[in-house]
């Protein structure tokens, strides 16, 4: 369930749940990626093309259908700027 998004600098970010493939249902978010203490929040690891560092962001379980590319890029940018 990887998804690629491109930021304003032209960097392509490939976002995927950590531990993907640990569960039999390829569409479900892996339970191991769940944010502790959060009902429907999961981690995604977003890896860039080029020299930027990977970032870990939190998203809702239905991120693949509910979040736009712009929303994902905004989460990536916020996490990158915070770090």
Each residue's pLDDT tens digit, 26-59: 555 567 777 887 788 999 999 999 777 899 999 9
Q: Are 40 and 60 in contact, with CB atoms under 8 Å apart?
A: yes
Structural element, H or E, at residue 63: helix 63-66
Question: pTM for the full model?
Answer: 0.80
Q: What is the mean pLDDT of residues 3-31?
A: 76
d(CA 79, CA 83): 6
């Amino acid at each position: 369930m990887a998804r690629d998004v491109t930021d304003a600098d032209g960097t392509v970010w490939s976002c995927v749940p950590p531990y993907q493939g640990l569960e039999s249902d390829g569409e479900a978010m892996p339970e191991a990626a769940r944010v502790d203490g959060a009902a429907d929040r999961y981690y995604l690891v977003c890896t860039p093309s080029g020299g930027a560092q990977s970032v870990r962001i939190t998203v809702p379980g239905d991120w693949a259908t509910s979040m736009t590319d712009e929303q994902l890029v905004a989460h990536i940018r916020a996490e990158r700027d915070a770090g």
